[in-house]
Structure 1
Amino acid sequence: MSIGKFIPIVDTIRTYDKKDLRFDFIAAMTVAVVALPQSMAYAMIAGVNPAYGLYSAIVLTILGSAFGSSNHLATGPTNAICLLIASYMAIYAGQGDFFATLFLLTFMVGAIQFIMGTFRLGSLVNYVSHAVIVGFTAGAGIIIAMGQLNNLLGVKLPDGHLSSIGKVIACFENIGTTNLVALGLGLFTIAVILLCRRINKNLPGALLGIIFSVMLVMLFDLEKYGLKMAGDIPQAIPPLSMPNFSLSAITDLASGSIVIAIIGLVEAVAISKAIASRTLQKIDPNQEFIGQGIANMGGAFLSSIAGSGSFTRSAITYQNGGKTRLAGVLVGIIILIVLIFFAPYAKYIPNASLAGVIMVVAYSMVDKKALVKVLKTNFNDAVVLLVTMFTTIFAPHLEQAIYAGVATSLLLYLKDSGVAGVRTLAPIQATDGRFVEQEINGERPSIAIIQLEGSLYFGSASDLEKKLSEAYGESKVYLVRFKGVSVIDITALEVIEAFINRGMADGNRVILSGVTPKIHRMLERMHVIKHIGEENIFTQEDEVFASSGKALEEANSFVRSVSYSVKERPIQI
């Protein structure tokens, strides 16, 4: 088997067209310009020095592009993942083994992703609905903005861990200590970003805002006004690191690593598929799982925090002409070069300016169009979205929002799927000789068609029993039609068997039509066919209505042979 199947970058290099290099390089330069301030800002969200964001932007981007499935997915620090990291690492803040434990979390996330990809579990991301992701992302955006308010205002918070809501409360309690210089730089950065977007969306507004802020700090010596700065960033390649592989740490981080791994995979696959719908590239979710897993596992040994696919950076890669996965590899190399030669200038970056970048990112995370679309389109999805969003904001742990969203989705699905599809119809002859079916209202006809539809399983068995009981009346023949029954289990079949027994005990005839081979085998094993008689079973046929037509003809024959006083003529087929 080709090595390119497991290491996609090998096939890319083998078949690389030199004409694509210009496009990949231009795209990589543009993405790197955006990734520099983003990755530093996201590291702050995770609660660590901005340097670790840069390390992650180098290592994860290169490995994710080399081993993933998508040509355009840009792996690295993301806002939602960094927010989750901050949540799980809060209890380790200030401890001597903080970074070793942080890198363990990165490794565990990658290992889970790699194992899921190896065991071909890519389809599992489909069980996290779009409404959950939209709600979580919106809630995360609000949480991120709340968490950066103190940096934007230059307000010093009390010592100890505070929740995002606690930070907001503390900010308002200390609003009198606002550092106006810090606030001015933060607002200036936001203004630069918004102005660049208005002039040209391809302008690197975040980077320009940071650069202009650094120039102001250096020109006017603004540090003397008590500004909190990003601090020194080592002028070196990402240093080697060793995760804290202790059993107690692994146990404590197990739940968090699973949540981060799944959220990261959902983000990565969703972004890959969104771009692939335009490029027509075939995405392999399992290979993407493997790529994300290798990126995070490798990053754990090179001082990186966990990451995933970034929609912003991936979209920039596509929009700026990136052709192959080599563009992602070049992004990491460019950031590495910047880190080696320009790192000394990072100490002049004020935290307020990074907070301004984060505020814009947080605002953009609240996808207004997607929110309105979900809220207006489907009630169940709207409930799931709101539950997820508010749980994200108010729950003490972020994973609870995902659990709440998925659980709500499943409960609402089970509620809807617990309704059995049953229609009671009467065959009526039309003026042109054809037979048509009408819903039964009032007096029961001699022949009643009971049409079963959709999924019939233990969850809908109670509703099925109730509706079959209501359908039972004065008819002489009950034609039970299996129309489009996608799922049926033994519990539902036992309810149908009870209905058959009731009809036969009353001297009526019960006929089954549209019986698929699978249902036929189940009825045979339950001895229903032996009890009802093979002559009353009409199997599903290719010709439309063929099975129902033959079953109805048999029902008419039975009605003719039974003497009763109701003046009805048999239905003509």
Structure 2
Amino acid sequence: MSSFIISKYIPILKTIRDYKKENIRKDIVGAVTVTVVGIPQYMAYALIAGVSPVYGLYTGIIAAIIGSVFGSSNQLITGPTNAICLLTASAMIRYMNLPNAYQILFLMTFLVGVLQMLYGVLKLGKLVDFVSHTVLVGFTAGAGVIIALGQLKTFLGISIKSSSAMSTLEKTYYIITHIRQTNLYVLGVGLMTIAIVVVCKKIGKKLPGALLGITVPIIFIIMFDLEKKGVKLIGTIPSALPTFKMVQFSFDSLKDIFRGAFTISIIGLVEAISISKSIGTKTRQKIDSNQEFIGQGIANIVGSFFQCLPSSGSFSRSAINYISGGTSRFAGILSGVFVAIILVYLAPYASYIPSAGLAGVLIYTGFGLIDKEEIKKVARAGILSSDSIAMWVTCVLVIILPSLDYAIYAGITLSIVLYLKDTNKAPVKLLIPTPGTESQTVEQEIKSVKGKVDVLIIQLEGNLYFGAASDLGVKLESLISKSRVFILRMKYVTTIDLTSLSTLKVFIRNVREAGGIPLISGVNSELDLFFKKTNLESDIGIENIFRSENEVFASTTNALQKARASLNCGIGDKAQKSATCTLLDLVSTFKG
């Protein structure tokens, strides 16, 4: 039992115990492919965060290994991602010119990890559900635009003084007004990188386009001595592994960075869980959200002591790992090991990588974040639909607001408000029994009751909570004078709270005062118990409540029989019966 518990919280132990030899080659191929694709991403994403590319490589080593050891998914690759690095840059913009900027950055990585681990320990796996898919689509689209615009000055070779204090839109305006200062050699290198990436993608998805895009231009830089013509290189990268350094704790710093860390912790988990579940649907692996929270948290906590940026699950690298055949968490661990080996032995050559090349990779990646298919799906739902409004508002706010966490909070708040607006409408269907074929009685749905009918079936549906109670009350009140017998069908009600129940009680009382007869059908065991506890039985009479039975429409059939009796059908000569009574005589063959 104890070994099972340990394996639950340290999933790598179960992987070791159940590992099959035939998976070794698959995991190595997956790890190599992830490494080749990941190295230029790690370096480029570090530039988004506003730090040296080496810190992106450090994060690609530590986060990939620790995330795979403790995470829930077999294929998830943890490391720096474009969205998380963009949020990091937004949170750190006030501190990057300070002498202790990197200490604050690593403290934020630590705080992100603590928050994520706390969510997992408290089993708050449902927390990610509050960030709607459309908000995430809007955020990533806006983030893609910001990433692309943020790299324009490097891509064009335009120097901007005090650019760290300027917003992305301010930088973009400056570039547009100073476009004549473009260095054509720098622009050529950037365009060459994008062209190589695009061509590689056209030829085959397995080609490492980003890696070739930043290494091929090195040949031209050396041949034509382009460094003297203004083409800047990323500079020296230490050929050493990240070393342990104690995080510098400060209460004031923790208080200052908490808001940014909280946003990063939530968005990081949304990324990791959505990616894990997406791949899990194909591999049939059940993802434990709380364990993934803990795994991501530990990866960030450990990473903070090895100069790592905040990290999360990467969709592109995880997908590549899965497509390349990676079957276990060893693929993620090996990818971190391979990055470490390359850092130690090939770091000196990386100093020749042009900054414009990395900017080209980021511009291409930025526009790739704009998920056109998802945007089309949301747009097809209607430009004024809740999903569409939440997506576009989030996207625009990401672009125009100086602080990205405000855009995220606004998007989440807006999606919740719009959801509540949509759910405060009580779903009510109106049905009347009508003659069918072969002496059967069927139900006919009507939009409204123009005259007065003898029997009206009111079908309630969904979650009848306090937000929908007002709308429910208005709809029921308008029907009181429309019928003699009302059958409230509760079969499709999932839950009902006290506020909505009070609305039903008011309706029942008003129907009786108007001389009508209220009946309730389709009551399941949970609703039956709830009605007993809340004394509804005494309000309507236990004989007027018809419980759900195994036979389809049985409770409604019983309610119609009661309606037949209530209307005095069956008394006197059949020829003198009302049309409704004649119809209700067919109730034994009622088909619903």
Alpha-carbon shift at residue 431 of structure 1 (Å): 4.5
Equivalent position of 2:122 in the other structure? 119
Relative to structure 1, the CA distance from residue 51 to residue 415 in structure 2 (aligned partners, 3 Å threshold; closer, same or farther) is same
Equivalent position of 2:468 in the other structure? 460
Alpha-carbon shift at residue 370 of structure 1 (Å): 1.6
5+ residue gaps, structure 1 = none
Q: Which moved more, 1:474-483 or 1:316-325?
A: 474-483
Residue from 223, 238, 254 that aligns with 1:250: 254
* TM-score, scaled relative to structure 2: 0.93
1:193-251 residue CA offsets vs partner (Å, 9 max, x unmatched) = 11111222211111112111223223332221223321211121112233332111111
1:432-464 residue CA offsets vs partner (Å, 9 max, x unmatched) = 222122226422112222222222121111111
CA distance in 1, matches of 2:480, 2:8: 60
**Aligned residues: CA RMSD:** 1.9
Q: Alignment partner of 1:281: what SS?
A: coil
Equivalent position of 1:67 in the other structure? 70
Equivalent AA in structure 1 for residue 397 of structure 2: T
Q: Percent identity?
A: 46
Equivalent AA in structure 2 for residue 356 of structure 1: G
Aligned residue runs from structure 1 range 354-369, under 5 A = 354-369=358-373
1:294-343 residue CA offsets vs partner (Å, 9 max, x unmatched) = 11110000000011111111111111121211111111111111111111
Equivalent position of 1:40 in the other structure? 43
Q: Which moved more, 1:94-103 or 1:282-291?
A: 282-291
| 1:434 equivalenced with 2:434 (yes/no) | no
CA contact (8 A) 1:424 1:471 kept: no
Q: Alignment partner of 2:494: what SS?
A: strand
Alpha-carbon shift at residue 563 of structure 1 (Å): 10
Equivalent AA in structure 2 for residue 550 of structure 1: N
Alpha-carbon shift at residue 562 of structure 1 (Å): 11
Alpha-carbon shift at residue 561 of structure 1 (Å): 7.0
Equivalent position of 2:58 in the other structure? 55
Q: Alignment partner of 1:514: what SS?
A: strand
Equivalent position of 1:413 in the other structure? 419
Residue from 558, 562, 565 that aligns with 1:557: 565
| 1:150 equivalenced with 2:153 (yes/no) | yes
Q: Alignment partner of 1:91: what SS?
A: coil
Q: Alignment partner of 2:438: what SS?
A: coil
CA contact (8 A) 2:454 2:580 kept: no
| 1:12 equivalenced with 2:15 (yes/no) | yes
Q: Alignment partner of 2:519: what SS?
A: strand
CA contact (8 A) 1:103 1:300 kept: yes
CA distance in 2, matches of 1:569, 1:173: 80
Residue from 327, 330, 335 that aligns with 2:339: 335
CA distance in 1, matches of 2:560, 2:546: 10
Equivalent AA in structure 1 for residue 125 of structure 2: G
Equivalent position of 2:241 in the other structure? 237
CA distance in 2, matches of 1:17, 1:475: 71
Equivalent AA in structure 2 for residue 164 of structure 1: T
Alpha-carbon shift at residue 567 of structure 1 (Å): 4.1
Equivalent position of 1:287 in the other structure? 291
CA contact (8 A) 2:455 2:486 kept: yes
Residue from 76, 79, 84 that aligns with 1:81: 84
Q: Alignment partner of 2:246: what SS?
A: coil
1:51-84 residue CA offsets vs partner (Å, 9 max, x unmatched) = 1001101111111111111111111010000000
Relative to structure 1, the CA distance from residue 184 to residue 521 in structure 2 (aligned partners, 3 Å threshold; closer, same or farther) is same
* TM-score, scaled relative to structure 1: 0.96
1:439-494 residue CA offsets vs partner (Å, 9 max, x unmatched) = 26422112222222222121111111111111111532222221301121111111
CA distance in 1, matches of 2:540, 2:8: 55
1:66-123 residue CA offsets vs partner (Å, 9 max, x unmatched) = 1111111111010000000000000001101101100011111111111111222222
5+ residue gaps, structure 2 = 588-592
Relative to structure 1, the CA distance from residue 500 to residue 180 in structure 2 (aligned partners, 3 Å threshold; closer, same or farther) is same
Alpha-carbon shift at residue 183 of structure 1 (Å): 0.9
CA contact (8 A) 2:449 2:482 kept: no
Alpha-carbon shift at residue 361 of structure 1 (Å): 0.8
Q: Alignment partner of 1:494: what SS?
A: helix
Residue from 504, 509, 533 that aligns with 1:501: 509
Equivalent AA in structure 2 for residue 432 of structure 1: E
CA contact (8 A) 2:481 2:514 kept: no
Number of equivalenced pairs: 573
Equivalent position of 1:385 in the other structure? 391
Alpha-carbon shift at residue 430 of structure 1 (Å): 2.8
Equivalent AA in structure 1 for residue 78 of structure 2: T
Aligned residue runs from structure 1 range 90-169, under 5 A = 90-159=93-162, 160-169=164-173
Alpha-carbon shift at residue 566 of structure 1 (Å): 9.4
